[in-house]
Amino acid sequence: RIYSIGESRGGELWVGTELGLSRHDRTTRKFEHFAYIPGEANTLSDPLVLDIEEDAQNRLWIATHNGLNMYDPRTQRYSHYKTGDNHPDEALRYNYVFSLLADAKKPGGIWVGTIRGGLHWFDWQTGNFQQFPFSPGAKNGTLSASIYTIYADKSGDVWVGSSGGVSRYLRNEDRFDRVADSLFARNLTHKFVYSILQDRFDQFWFGTAGGINHFDPVSGELRAYLNDPDDPGSLSNNFVLCIHESPKTGDIWIGTNGGLNRLVREPEIHFRSYRQKDGLPDDLIYGILEDDAGNLWLSAQNGLVKAEVFGDSLAFTLFTKSDGLQGDEFNMNAFLRGKNGKMYFGGSNGFNAFFPENVTENQFLPPVAITDFRVLNESVPIAGNGQKTHPETFTIPKTINMLDALELSWRQNVFSFEFAALNFTNPQENEFAYMMEGFDENWIYSGNRRFVTYTNLDPGEYIFRVKASNNDGVWNETGKAIRISITPPPWRTWWAGIIYAIIVLGGIYGIIRFRIREAQRKIGEQSRIERAKTEERERVRKKSAADFHDEAGHLITKITLFLELARRQASENKLLNEYLDKMEEHTKSLAGGMRDFIWGLDPEKDSLQETLIRLRDFGNKLFQHSDVRFVASPLVSDFGRVELDIDDRRAIMFIFKEAMHNCLKHAAATNASLDAHLEGERLHIAFSDNGKGISQHPKTGGYGLKNMQSRAAKMGATLQISSEADRGTRIVFEKILTKIP
């Protein structure tokens, strides 16, 4: 008794009866199943279906492991033909029927091949079997008792593939061609022949257990194509089970024990293979059919495969027993496309029939639900649902699928989700993918596994997402999502961070203060040491200057007195007086140099101002009794704060004393000037005259000028000398100072 009927979003009908709940899936594919039913008369004689043929009256002839069957779709009745039904000479010799051929050019019967029973012609009007002899030497018979395939060519001749090679039945002569027998027996790569095809160019192809053989009936040439592991363009496997030529494109497809092959004729014959690594669900291909849309249907060891052809690429869809097939494994020979486009595939549990256009994908987007949430492998209870829980037990306010967000403590960072797709059409084929945003970088595809566990997630914000596909691989990309917040432990909270920051900053401040004080102490100590060293150096320099002044001055005075006495004694000796004049000149020069040296040694003269005063005084004294009017620029107070090294002061003195001497001796000038000023850290000292210019007194352009420039370069300064004829000379000294307070 039916109490209620409801329809789900997926299109299933749910029927409530007094015996329980039943489901009717109206989206299940239209695979009609013809099965063996033990104990029934109107059924297959055996579940193992090995070949299927359709005759001119649209009846199906079915080869089984237990005789020949005929099924009439109009009456839906079966007829069985087995060994012992007739006189032994007119009966089926062996019930293991393996191959059939409904011969369009020989109506009224069907060719029947058996294993170990040879070839027969069955006349369905009389019900008798014509038996053909089988042995390598038999006349008008086949080469073997095991017949694997029967094929009619375009002329009406029948080719028989067996465990002994190929035989050809000449229809017009009603006999077997022994010449063909011997030819193929000698040259085939293997005597087990499982499939035969005559292509649109009237060339023959023979699939064997040892590769595929190409026969040209005009030239009589037989050529073999085999697998070569080192040649990717060779046949993928030598065990050839089926050959199919596309009526649309002329492509030849070859099914083997190791993948599907496509024969490519240009530039020379080679093969493009498709295997499991290329997406083919199974490498063992028993049969190949083609529908009106150009799709290939492949019977395989683990299901039925639809192959959509896109140029050189194939897209595969696998159908299995869960889709309504007789089973997952099919058989060689057991495939047929009927005259109306209906396809038949046989296997170990009967056979299936279907129209390819009726086999459509399930387009239902399955809703996704999170069905359970676990912490430490324990389901989290719902608060207030009547369950007794400990006050400290973690609970959620409602079912996990109804929550948008979860807040967990740092102790609850090992948790699991279970989920489901609400698609009940072959639900075992639903697949899932999940991702924890903030932890996983990509979606993780888990197949049909419906749970995931996360361990030791850091405190933070996450979003758990899960999506699912239905049994046909149609994904609900929206899926289900839930926000997850894991709070940190007390020592990792924001206020703990502030405390840590204060402690760290306090420590850093203390260290900095200590280092500053220590540095100040060291600097003060170093300053005291440097000050003491400086004071000692200045004391030594001052004492040395005084001592040297006294000693050197005393000696020079004596030399001067002796020169004067010598001149009085040699008043009449002209040559001696010249020598004495030279000695007096050198003595005066020595005295001047000694005064400069003593001046440079005196630490009280280390300033720029003292240097400029000495240059000014030297110029005033030098030009005092000459025709040259000498002017020095006024000194400014900043000059007194600028210190100069002793070497720099001596170099400046030398350069400008040399310039003044040159002016006095050679320039014939009437005016000369000395100017000094500071521009930031740059010191400028210039000496100018209005004389003849350097070009007019070449003596000054030699060693003296080079020596002046050399001294300037050694102290890191520049010395520019510019001169024009009858307009004078200007010498400019520039240096970057480093000791400006």
Q: Is residue 694 part of a domain?
A: yes
Q: Is residue 509 part of a domain?
A: yes
Q: Rounded to an integer, what is the distance from CA 472 to the centroid of its chain?
A: 30
Strand 259-264 with 270-274, pairing: antiparallel
Residue 131 has pLDDT above 90, yes or no: yes
Please list, in sequence order, all residues whose beta carbon lies within 8 angstroms of the beta carbon of residue 367, skipping any fewer than 6 positions away.
9, 421, 422, 476
The answer to which of 180-194, 511-525, 567-581, 699-713 has the lowest mean pLDDT is: 567-581
Give me the pLDDT at residue 698, please. Answer: 47
CB atoms within 10 A of CB 155: 12
pLDDT digits (tens, 9 = 90+) for 155-214: 999 999 999 999 999 998 989 887 667 777 678 999 999 999 999 999 999 999 999 999
Residue 542 has pLDDT above 80, yes or no: no
Strand order, beta sheet including 378-379: 378-379, 368-375, 415-421, 451-454
Residues 480, 466: contact at Cβ < 8 Å? yes
Average pLDDT, integer, range 629-650: 87
Please tell me whether the overall predicted TM-score, pTM, comes out greater than 0.85 for this model: no
Token pair of 342 as six digits = 């209906």
Residues 465 and 499 in one domain: no
Report the candidate in 170, 51, 156, 44 with the shortest Cα–Cα distance to residue 114. Answer: 51
Binned at pLDDT 50, 70 and 90, residue 699 comes out as very low
Binned at pLDDT 50, 70 and 90, residue 22 comes out as very low
Q: Is residue 614 part of a domain?
A: yes
Last residue of a domain, one of 104, 131, 158: 131
Q: Is residue 655 part of a domain?
A: yes
By residue count, the chain amounts to 741
The helix/strand/coil state of 95 is coil
User: CA–CA separation, 132 vs 153, rounded Å?
Assistant: 20
Q: What is the DSSP letter of 726?
A: T
Please list, in sequence order, all residues whose beta carbon lies within 8 angstroms of the beta carbon of residue 417, skipping any fewer than 6 positions away.
370, 372, 373, 374, 400, 434, 451, 452, 464, 466
Residue 540 has pLDDT above 60, yes or no: no
Report the candidate in 436, 484, 491 with the shortest Cα–Cα distance to residue 460. Answer: 484
Residues 641 and 723 in one domain: yes
Q: What CATH number is associated with residue 676?
A: 3.30.565.10
Q: Is residue 153 part of a domain?
A: no
Residues 728 and 678 in one domain: yes
Query: What domain range is 15 assigned to?
Result: 1-27
Strand 671-679 with 629-632, pairing: parallel
The helix/strand/coil state of 728 is strand
Q: Is residue 617 part of a domain?
A: yes
Count the domains in the chain.
5
User: CA–CA separation, 222 vs 220, rounded Å?
Assistant: 7
Residues 499 and 464 in one domain: no
| Residue 251 or 552, more confident | 251
Give me the pLDDT at residue 556, please. Answer: 65
Residues 521 and 651 in one domain: no
Residues 55, 110: contact at Cβ < 8 Å? yes
Residues 741 and 616 in one domain: yes
Residues 633 and 546 in one domain: no
Q: What share of the chain is helix, strand, coil (3-state, %, to 5)?
A: 25, 35, 35
Token pair of 375 as six digits = 């912490």
Residues 22 and 65 in one domain: no
Residues 161, 146: contact at Cβ < 8 Å? no
Torsion of CA 601, 603, 607, 608, to 10 degrees: 0
Q: What CATH number is associated with residue 431?
A: 2.60.40.10
What is the crossing angle of helices 646-662 and 574-601, to 10°?
Answer: 140
User: CA–CA separation, 167 vs 183, rounded Å?
Assistant: 10
Q: Is residue 302 part of a domain?
A: no
Cβ burial, residue 531 (10 Å; 0-12/13-18/19+): exposed
The answer to which of 142-156, 233-247, 397-411 has the lowest mean pLDDT is: 397-411
User: CA–CA separation, 58 vs 77, rounded Å?
Assistant: 13
Residues 364, 423: contact at Cβ < 8 Å? yes
Evaluate the CA torsion angle 299, 305, 306, 311 in order and state its sign. Answer: negative
Report the candidate in 6, 120, 5, 8 with the shortest Cα–Cα distance to residue 427. Answer: 8
Residue percentage of the chain with pLDDT more than 70: 82
Strand 285-290 with 32-34, pairing: unpaired
Residues 570 and 556 in one domain: yes
CA-angle at 384, arms to 378 and 388, nearest 5°: 60
Please list, in sequence order, all residues whose beta carbon lies within 8 angstroms of the beta carbon of residue 22, skipping any fewer than 6 positions away.
14, 15
Residues 591 and 662 in one domain: no
Residues 512 and 479 in one domain: no
| Residue 155 or 608, more confident | 155
Cβ burial, residue 536 (10 Å; 0-12/13-18/19+): exposed
Residues 648 and 662 in one domain: yes
Token pair of 25 as six digits = 């899936």
Q: Is residue 645 part of a domain?
A: yes
Average pLDDT, integer, range 537-545: 59
